[in-house]
Structure 1
């Protein structure tokens, strides 16, 4: 019984760790993409993302 409880606790901890890691990675990605593109309106950001890298004027 105690062994099953331990397994459940380990699974929950693992899932929480993965979620936190994913959240941190996503936040980092958002920050870097925002810093790459100068402050523009959201529509201009979307237009800029449609253009392949190396082809923007």
Structure 2
């Protein structure tokens, strides 16, 4: 994956980070829960950028 695409994926993953962080805080009223959710979202972003989640077309 080239650098502009990696940057684009990072920017796009900011949106789920904000949304899920706000949702977790509104449900739990806990910053620790938000931190855990942000770590999960960051892990998913890292996995996409490094190629851990490959599509079926790329595998075949």
The reply to whether TM is greater than 0.5 is no
TM-score, scaled relative to structure 1:
0.41
TM-score, scaled relative to structure 2:
0.40
Instruction: Give the number of the structure with larger relative contact order, counting CA–CA contacts within 8 Å between residues 6 or more apart.
Output: 2
